[in-house]
A and B are shown apart, each in its own frame.
Chain A
Amino acid sequence: MAKRFLSGNEAFAYGVRLARPQVISAYPITPQTIVVEKLSEFVEDGSLKAEFIHVESEHSALSCAMGAASVGARAFTATSSQGLLYMAECLPYAAGGRFPIVMMNANRSTALPWNIYGDQRDSVSQLDSGWIQAYAENAQEALDIALMSFYIAEHRKVSTPFMANLDGFVLTHTYEVADVPSQEQADEFLPPLQTENKMSLAAPKNLAFSAGPDSNTIFKYKEHLGILNAKSIIQEAEIRFEQIFGRHYTGLTESYQTEDADYILITLGSIAGLVREVVDQMRAGGKKVGLLRLRYLRPFPNEEIAAAVKNAKALAVLEKDISFGSEGTVYTNVNSALQKAALSIPNSNYIGGLGGKNISAEEIESIFYELTKQRSTVQFLGIGGEGSGN
């Protein structure tokens, strides 16, 4: 292991190198670009043996990755925002084909208006595409997820593509110290890809076929089971990871001071670091508040959320996306989890950080204070509730 001063993008690239991908399809888009730049340097200096393909679009980036995966090669690509939307056709295609591709997505706002900064509207809009979705908080977690993602995606019980999300700029471009494991350790953790879901000269197959009304549902059901199976395989991967690398992860969610908390803020991504600080400050002032960070949105942590918040008086969901005409999509999902667990806890939805807008410690603190009023509305941070933005 070696400590390095790395941006989130660079840390992720180091993690990808450790996973020894065989095919990398690359197309630039801010703020993802540094990942593929770094990987091209690794290929150039010989520290990574991979076919590095300069595709002409994101649609081709994922199409190329699917081609590589269809013959059993380990494939990686990366994108962001408009690029993710441009390749959108290929997302359910890769998931339905059960191709265990890993893709990094640098979370970025979606046009219009144009904006290159971070929010999560890009990936959250694709929650239904059949991909595992993880959200990293810092550079170390980004690197570790990069390595773990291949293990999880390629596991024969899962066989599902994996989208690792890093908040644009706040995480992708911020430098932190991260441990970079040795290649020997990484090889111990991650075996070479083995799958029967591939075309080969030894056993020719017809893949990516049509399935009519009679057989379609069973394929989709199995796809659903695959991504649900990821729950236990994520746990398995994290136990293996801790045994080899000594770092501990907590599955689909991460609880901070939730055990006795009256008020819990649920969020995801890099903002969790600031929320943790606010929790510490408010705890010092005698307020029983806590943080529940969602590390994965698919598979969705229904049981984990219910278990973590069941004794809370009120909840807030803070997210960097909005499903126009409804509410934040994470909020919708969280409420479904509460409903399924027969938990009736007052809750509010806060939409913040759109287009890279800073979320301050004061705003997070005020969310906790507003929770004591126990109302249930959708609030845009810095603007207000529905109907008040006229």
Chain B
Amino acid sequence: MAINAQTLNETEFFYGHKACAGCGGSLAVRIALKVLGENTFAVLPAGCMSAVGFNFPQLCFSNNAIISTFAGTASMLTGIEAGLRAQGVTDFHAVGFAGDGGTADIGLQALSGAIDRNDDILYICYDNEAYMNTGIQKSSLTPFGARTTTTPAGKNIRGNLRPKKNLFEIVAAHGIPYAATASVGYLNDFMRKIEKAKQIKGTKYIHILAPCPTGWGIQTDETIDVAKEVVDCGLWYLAEYENGSFILNHDPKEFTSIEKYLRKQSRFKHLTDKDIQTIQNSRDAKWEYIHRNFK
């Protein structure tokens, strides 16, 4: 039976934490743990989710959970998985929840090592497109044009000048057993992918876009709408990589307005029409690539 809002485990594993209202990342963690269940060992590096969930004596995970070093999410997962297996424990899931900076920047080496070894772990990147915990600094997953506290939008430079790193395909290029993209705007799709990853041996990677109202400059009740819209306007996509092939899960017949998506977020307020055209062109090129290479 497919997991949906009606069949989802009612037990809460991540509660009493101090995440901001409307936090997409905490929603991704909460939902993923409900799908994975109580026999889950969660590793969270330095970042938003560890900062809001592990303040002694207020510890917010009812399953096993541990903070890793910023760069060490994947390698600590490896040790947990190996340590449990060495003791004859088999009925468990080892899952990591790291942000975009913790995954695409400082944690990429350890992640690549774990995929290379094909360790039996699930790595979930909750991507809010900047270092939010330290106050909205640019990461390599910050999209083109976004204003962050280290890519100010001024007269000379208008926000981040580099495109978002293509981490999903970088991960897939390892020949990983399973990788997927997701969005907190499409939770059924995310839950299905976690459920699928649960059944697969070896390394699994799920990259979920998770808006941050504080960093993106949106209202706290807009998180889900914006997370849907980023998929609907084609700036993010829902896909899987399995058995050496890319599969597109959701192919919008017609994209919604990129301009509307961007203009409602204060991080993009400064963009010119030309900037928006640049973003649209890169979206179109990406979708041309997707239609050519994804099933």
The chain B residue sitting closest to A54, CB to CB, is B117
Among A57, A90, A200, A204, max chain B CB count under 10 A is at A204
Residues on B with beta carbons closer than 8 Å to the beta carbon of A66: 68, 72, 76, 79
Whether B87 contacts A71 by the Cβ 8 Å rule is yes
CB pair A75 B75 closer than 8 Å: no
CB distance from B80 to the nearest CB of A (A): 4
Contact of A53 among B39, B57, B69, B79 (CB under 8 A): B79
Min distance, Cβ A69 to any Cβ of chain B, angstroms: 7
Say yes or no: A73-B86 contact (C-beta < 8 A), given A60-B72, A67-B78, A201-B92.
yes
A55: CB under 8 A from chain B?
Answer: yes
Beyond A73-B87, A89-B69, is A60–B82 a contact (Cβ under 8 Å)? Answer: no
B46-89 CB contacts (< 8 Å) to partner A? 50-51, 53-57, 59-69, 71-72, 74-87, 89
Interface string of A1-35 (1 = CB under 8 A from B): 00000000000000000000011010000000000
Comparing B108-116, B207-215, B219-227, the segment that makes contact with chain A is: B108-116
Q: A63 to B59, Cβ gap below 8 A? A: no
- State whether B86 touches A51 (Cβ < 8 A): yes
Q: A22, A71, A199 — which one has the most chain B CB atoms within 10 A of its CB?
A: A71
A209 interfacial contact with B, CB 8 Å:
yes
| A25 surroundings in chain B (CB, below 8 A) | 75, 78-79
Does chain B have a CB within 8 A of A212? Answer: yes
Let me know if B194 is at the binding interface, CB within 8 A: no
Q: B216 near A: Cβ within 8 Å? A: no
Interface membership of B36, Cβ < 8 A: no
Interface size on B, residues (CB 8 A): 47
Asked, given contacts A55-B113, A67-B77, A93-B69, whether A205 binds B82 with beta carbons under 8 Å apart, the answer is no
CA distance A90 to B112 in the complex (A): 19
Check if A60 sits within 8 Å of B113, measured CB to CB: yes
- B98 interface residue (CB < 8 Å to A): no
- On whether A56 and B60 interact (CB within 8 A), knowing A63-B75, A75-B79, the answer reads no
A388 at the interface (CB under 8 A from B): no
A60 to chain B, nearest CB (A): 4
| A200 to B81 Cα, complex, angstroms | 12
A60's closest neighbor in chain B, by CB? B75
- Given A59-B71, A211-B56, verify A75-B116 contact (CB < 8 Å): no
Which of chain B's residues have a CB closer than 8 A to the CB of A212?
Answer: 55-56
A interface secondary structure, majority: mixed
A59 in contact with B72 (CB, 8 Å): yes
| Complexed CA–CA distance, A211 and B58 (Å) | 10
Bound-complex Cα distance A204 to B39 (A): 9
Interchain nearest-CB distance for A16 vs B (Å): 15
Q: Are B61 and A206 in contact (CB under 8 A)?
A: yes
Identify the interface centre among B39, B65, B77: most chain A CB within 10 Å of its CB: B65
Instruction: For A63, give its contact among B50, B84, B92, B110 (CB under 8 Å).
Output: B110
Chain A residues whose CB sits within 8 angstroms of the CB of B79 once the complex forms: 23, 25, 53, 63-70, 73, 75
Q: Are B56 and A215 in contact (CB under 8 A)?
A: yes
Contacts of A59 in B (CB 8 A): 69, 71-72, 75, 110
A89-144 at interface with B (beta carbon < 8 Å): 89-90, 93
CA distance A60 to B79 in the complex (A): 9
Residues of B within 8 A of A51 (CB): 82-83, 85-86
Listed in ascending order, the chain A residues whose CB lies under 8 Å from chain B are: 22-23, 25, 50-51, 53-57, 59-61, 63-73, 75, 89-90, 93, 199-201, 204-212, 215
Pairs A-B, 10 closest by C-beta atoms:
A67-B79, A56-B113, A73-B83, A63-B72, A68-B83, A60-B75, A199-B64, A22-B86, A206-B59, A64-B79
User: What are some 16 contacts across the A-B interface (CB < 8 A)?
Assistant: A53-B78, A54-B117, A56-B113, A59-B71, A60-B110, A65-B79, A66-B79, A67-B82, A68-B80, A68-B82, A68-B83, A68-B86, A71-B87, A73-B87, A90-B72, A206-B66
